[in-house]
Amino acid sequence: MTTPQDIIRRDVLAMTSYPVPDATGYIKLDAMENPFSLPPVLAAHLGEHLAGVALNRYPAPRPEALIEKIKRVMGVPAGCDVLLGNGSDEIISMVSVACAKPGAKVLAPMPGFVMYQMSAKLANLEFIGVPLNPDFTLDTEAMLAAIAEHEPAVIYLAYPNNPTGTLYDDADMERIIAAANKSLVVIDEAYQPFAQQSWLPRADAFDNVVVMRTVSKLGLAGIRLGYLVGKPAWLTEFDKVRPPYNTNVLTQAAADFLLDHVDVLDAQAEQLREERTKLAKAVAQLPGAEVFPSAGNFLLVRVPDASVMFETLLAARVLIKNVSKMHPLLVNCVRLTVGSPEENAQLIAGLKLVLH
């Protein structure tokens, strides 16, 4: 009898699925989600809008009206186009597939977003991770040396980075972009609502740069919509490996409606930035806690024992992310999503059970 072991790639057999713990009954502070729901009146109007969606029809493969609205609302440069994806994860996958020539490589600073490496592996691309400095800034000289040695097809620069929250220095990034004359540089701005700095206005100033964003952190994680901004020459090629009908009709309709009310989401992001400042100050005052600067909606914190911290908070029904085993630079680090004021208060109470 044929078994999966006979057919499936050996590296896939050795992998584990992307872990998503059951958060039922927990305060969920492990996935960098916006904790705020839509105002009731706006949610009701959205429901009415979605009720008119033709669920019996396939979605538009390239919804031009929605793309034009994204361009207008998000300030996409005139010389750039927009490609939609089922979250930024799918866009990363599309980039990997399109660039998977024999011997091609992907390069990114480490620690970083795990999907850069995972998507590269699934596309049979070699992944090169370049360690950050101990303070989680870019080791620019090491990046430049790796670019010269490996000539990667794709370079990812997260702005800010996950899980560290670091907003890399613009001059360092410019040096990397200039050196990457045989590479595509993907600037990942998933957390832009909290960084308030962006490379998007300059996306048409470089021949080898595209900017990737998502609406997930803005408060719409459930609709799974990411988008890539870049010159048409790049996006035309990536569009060829895009699965047909990859953004469903409900996602398209919800995004179209909510982009007309982006001021509500922007106000929520502003509140979360304020809560981030308060939370960072409160955690930094706890004995044994080292809080790193963050431009995201989360904090990276080093504690005496990350496993004890995770288990203690789990017992207190607060779910955080233990990232201590992701990379040697993250030893005894946990990642705390910035929640609502009430959630943050319960988080701090849980932290005090260990840090006292």
pLDDT recorded at residue 20: 84
> Is 198 found in the same domain as 59?
yes
Closest C-alpha to 113, from 284, 326, 350: 326
The CATH number of the domain where 248 resides is what? 3.40.640.10
Q: How many domains does the chain have?
A: 2
Q: How much of the chain exceeds pLDDT 70, in percent? A: 100
Report how far residue 252's alpha carbon sits from residue 225's, in angstroms, rounded to the nearest whole number. Answer: 8
Mean pLDDT over 303-332 rounds to 97
CA distances from 14 to 28, 117, 188, 193 (A): 29, 15, 28, 37
The per-residue pLDDT for range 116-147, each reduced to its tens digit, is 999 999 999 999 999 999 999 999 999 999 99
Q: What is the pTM of this model?
A: 0.95
Residue ending a domain, choose from 219, 237, 261:
261
Domain coverage including residue 8: 4-40+263-352
pLDDT recorded at residue 22: 83
